[in-house]
Amino acid sequence: MNSYHIVLVILLSTCVALSIQDELKVSVYYESLCPDSVRFIKEQLTPTYKSLKSIFTADLIPYGKAIQNQENGKWVFQCQHGARECYGNKMQACALQQDVGDEKKIAFVDCVMRQNDPSQPASGGKCASNVGLAWESIRACTNSAAGDDILAAMGDRTHAVEPQISFVPTVIFNSTYDDDLQWKAIKNLRQVICNLQGNPDICG
């Protein structure tokens, strides 16, 4: 082995060491006008994402306890807190669809959920400009049939959860619901993620 090969071997083993941290997907099923969802996003998801984003990926599903059906080829949604909530959910679903990276998407959701009324277009506009997202395309999506399809896809995912979602927000790790982790995550998401990931150094 010449020195070039030795360097290569060292580089390769470093890569293997760095990738030992397993992926963990944290899915949050929530809705725009639900006080428990607001609290969870503000107090749990956002701070945990800021400090631990290197050890998990956040997967946001703004739909909650809504229902949907198609009438004459058009989606009709009914949301737990009324039609305004459907608009708010769709606005977030459209923002989450943008190709801008998780950091901006989560910052947008956090900002919108902190507004007095997270379902208002004014809240979306303000937060898009704060975070640096294109409000015009989010707004256009929210008012379009494409936006309905995006929200309906969130609905399909939500309705596929087993057992059926009974509390909003519902937090699911790696796509399998666990009742114990759900209630722990609502109180201390950071601790659940650290435990599942084997308490790496970043957890302190």
Ligand X SMILES: *[C@@H]1O[C@H](CO)[C@@H](O)[C@H](O)[C@H]1NC(C)=O
Q: Which amino acid is at 58?
A: A
Among 10, 12, 13, 23, binds ligand X (CB under 6 A): 23
Q: Is 73 left (phi over 0), alpha (psi -120 to 50) or beta?
A: left
Residue 174 within binding range of ligand X, rule CB under 6 A:
yes
Closest to ligand X by CB, 24 vs 161, is: 24
Of 59, 66, 82, nearest to 156 (Cα)?
A: 66
Among 100, 153, 196, 203, binds ligand X (CB under 6 A): 196
Cβ 196 to ligand X shortest distance, Å: 4
Structure tokens belonging to residue 72: 């004459």
Closest to ligand X by CB, 70 vs 199, is: 199
Closest to ligand X by CB, 161 vs 196, is: 196
Give the binding range for ligand X (CB under 6 A) out of 16-24, 34-42, 65-73, 97-105.
16-24
Contact 29, 165 (CB under 8 A): yes
Closest to ligand X by CB, 57 vs 69, is: 57
Contact 169, 29 (CB under 8 A): yes
- Residue with the CB atom nearest ligand X in the bound state: 22
Residue 24 within binding range of ligand X, rule CB under 6 A:
yes
Alpha helices in 53-201 (DSSP H): 83-96, 102-114, 121-131, 135-142, 145-159, 179-196
